[in-house]
């Protein structure tokens, strides 16, 4: 249980064992909630697991266990409820002795740009400084991490790779298991279980970091700007809580936000403007699709959209079509099914998200409709992408760059079409295209512009 923060009630050990360890001073106890401020009508609270302090997350009820007015945190309730009368426990006994150094089995070679980024990153982390790896989509970020992660593990350090999405955990886990021999790697996400035993390397969703305290010497935050990381301030605090005192953070992203840049101000920074295969990023093109919403809702597939889809199917190219909302996507699905009954739709609560993406990759389905849920971390050879309603607020600069980043990722098909169907061009769309062109020119330093929204 080293580094973990457990609800005492749910510790997977016998009560007597736990009591003994508490007596021996090996287990520390924190109250579930902290009262941060006494007030006339309502006190203010802090959840000791997720560090939420938002008064709207706390709910009170008459507790029949402590026979009192009890509060609990609704922010992290899905991980098991933390109430005022709950106790959180953590290990403070002897630290586990260093594990044998893992073996780096990965035999690929890095491009010179990847190589120098890996070395710069290792350098910063060894000096205890934060590091930002700003690399375009398809630059081979995962491969860059192998070296620095291996180095840290070999020194007996405990490492975490945190990413906002379960899909990315599932994609990274087999690649790291393949690359490293002789080390236990846990993959943690909602519903994954806790993992058996002690793992020097943990690949986790950012949410699952709530379950850790002073656990890691280094945390790599992947897609550092993505929802929900940029959205949810408590998640940033969770990274701090999961780090050991003096631990370091590295951020990895294709679209750094102002918050990430300021967090790494005093640290190192590597920029990779070229994809690993050396070809430029596909530049999105704009196509007007006036009144698309009304037409889709009245059951008509706009001609331009139909032609684009038919051209993809005729050429046998897999495609993704991004929609601004689940509602509009579901209204459009039957219209696309008239073209090909196998076309599917994927959104955040689709249970078969993984299967659908696999079916697209294997060619069983010609294409998928989706929301921004698939904007990151998906690699499918020869993929083509379209955005319907690119003027919508959910498609900001970062989202468009990420969607464009799905296209042309493999060396065999380094190019592809990314088309933004719109009802008016927004500054965010312009800015995304400008940034991609700037990266393709490779000369100028990319300048960070805060989101215009």
Partner 1 sequence: MNCLLCNEPARTAASWTGLFSARSRPVVCAPCRSGFEAPNGQPPLAEWKGTPYEGALDGARALFAYNEPMKQFLHQYKFLRDAALARVFSGELADAVSKSGGRAVAIPVHPDRLKERTFPHVEELLRQARIPHVEMLEKTASVTLGKMNRQERMALDLLFRLRTGIQKAPGEYVLVDDLYTTGTTLHHAAAVLKQAGADRVTAVTLIRA
Q: Count CB-CB contacts under 10 A for residue 335.
A: 19
Instruction: Tell me 377's DSSP state.
Output: S
9 or 430: CB nearest partner 1: 9
For residues 224 and 260, the answer to whether their CB atoms sit within 8 Å is yes
* Residues between 298 and 327 with contacts to partner 1, criterion CB under 8 A: none
Alpha helix segments (H runs only) across 195-325: 233-242, 258-263, 292-297, 303-315
128 or 228: CB nearest partner 1: 228
Q: Is there binding between residue 15 and partner 1 (CB under 8 A)?
A: no
Question: How far apart are CB 155 and partner 1 at their closest, in Å?
Answer: 40
- Measured CA to CA, the distance from residue 223 to residue 142 in angstroms comes to 11
Strand order in the sheet with 27-31: 5-7, 87-91, 27-31
Question: How far apart are CB 67 and partner 1 at their closest, in Å?
Answer: 10
What region does 298 belong to: left with phi over 0, alpha with psi -120 to 50, or beta?
alpha
23 or 64: CB nearest partner 1: 64
Q: Count CB-CB contacts under 10 A for residue 227.
A: 17
119 or 350: CB nearest partner 1: 350
Question: How far apart are CB 69 and partner 1 at their closest, in Å?
Answer: 12
Question: How far apart are CB 172 and partner 1 at their closest, in Å?
Answer: 27
Length of the chain: 453
**Total residues binding partner 1 (CB under 8 A):** 15
Alpha helix segments (H runs only) across 104-257: 112-126, 141-154, 166-179, 233-242
65 or 240: CB nearest partner 1: 65
30 or 79: CB nearest partner 1: 79
- Measured CA to CA, the distance from residue 415 to residue 315 in angstroms comes to 14
Question: How far apart are CB 65 and partner 1 at their closest, in Å?
Answer: 5
Q: Count CB-CB contacts under 10 A for residue 29.
A: 11
* Residues between 162 and 191 with contacts to partner 1, criterion CB under 8 A: none
Question: How far apart are CB 77 and partner 1 at their closest, in Å?
Answer: 5
Structure tokens at 116: 């120098």
Q: Site mask, partner 1, residues 63-92, x = CB under 8 A?
A: xxx----x-x-x--xx-xx-x---------
Determine how β-strand 44-47 pairs with β-strand 33-37.
antiparallel
Question: How far apart are CB 437 and partner 1 at their closest, in Å?
Answer: 36
- Measured CA to CA, the distance from residue 406 to residue 408 in angstroms comes to 7
92 or 194: CB nearest partner 1: 194
Q: Site mask, partner 1, residues 25-64, x = CB under 8 A?
A: -------------------------------x--x-xxxx
Chain contacts with partner 1 (rule: CB under 8 A)? 56, 59, 61-65, 70, 72, 74, 77-78, 80-81, 83
């Amino acid at each position: 249980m080293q580094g973990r923060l457990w609800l005492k009630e749910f510790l997977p050990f016998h009560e007597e064992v736990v009591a003994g360890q508490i007596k021996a001073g090996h287990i520390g106890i924190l109250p579930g909630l902290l009262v941060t401020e006494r007030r006339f009508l309502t006190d203010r609270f802090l959840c000791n697991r997720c560090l939420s302090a938002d008064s709207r997350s706390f709910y009170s009820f008459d507790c029949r266990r402590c026979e009192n007015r009890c509060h609990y945190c609704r922010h992290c309730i899905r991980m098991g409820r933390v109430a005022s009368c709950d106790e959180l426990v953590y290990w403070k006994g002897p630290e586990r002795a260093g594990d044998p150094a893992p073996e780096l089995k990965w035999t690929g070679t890095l491009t010179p740009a990847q190589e120098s980024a890996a070395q710069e990153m290792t350098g910063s982390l060894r000096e205890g400084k934060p590091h930002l790896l700003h690399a375009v989509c398809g630059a081979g970020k995962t491969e860059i991490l192998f070296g620095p992660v291996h180095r840290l593990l070999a020194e007996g350090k405990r490492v975490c790779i945190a990413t906002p999405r379960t899909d990315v955990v599932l994609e990274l886990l087999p690649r790291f298991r393949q690359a490293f021999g002789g080390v236990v790697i846990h993959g943690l996400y909602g519903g994954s279980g806790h993992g058996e035993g002690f793992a020097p390397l943990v690949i986790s969703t950012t949410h699952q970091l709530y379950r850790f305290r002073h656990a890691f010497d280094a945390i790599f935050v992947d897609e550092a700007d993505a929802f929900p990381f940029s959205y949810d301030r408590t998640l940033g605090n969770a990274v701090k809580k999961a780090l050991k005192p003096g631990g370091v953070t590295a951020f990895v992203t294709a679209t750094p936000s102002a918050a990430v840049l300021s967090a790494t101000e005093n640290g190192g920074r590597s920029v990779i403007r070229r994809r690993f295969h050396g070809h430029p990023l596909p530049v999105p093109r704009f196509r007007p699709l006036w009144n698309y919403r009304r037409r889709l809702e009245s059951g008509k597939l706009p001609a331009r959209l139909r032609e684009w889809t038919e051209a993809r199917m005729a050429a046998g190219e897999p495609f993704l079509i991004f929609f601004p909302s689940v509602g509009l996507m579901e209204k459009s699905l039957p219209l696309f099914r008239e073209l090909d009954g196998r076309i599917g739709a994927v959104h955040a609560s689709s249970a078969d998200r993984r299967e659908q993406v696999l079916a697209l990759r294997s060619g069983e389905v010609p294409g998928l409709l989706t929301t921004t849920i698939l904007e990151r971390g998906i690699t499918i050879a020869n993929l083509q992408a379209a955005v319907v309603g690119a003027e919508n607020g959910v498609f900001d600069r970062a989202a468009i760059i990420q969607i464009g980043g799905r296209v042309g990722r493999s060396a065999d098909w380094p190019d592809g079409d990314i088309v933004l169907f719109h009802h008016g061009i927004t500054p965010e769309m312009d800015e995304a295209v400008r940034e991609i062109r700037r990266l393709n020119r490779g000369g100028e330093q990319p300048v960070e512009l805060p989101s215009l929204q």
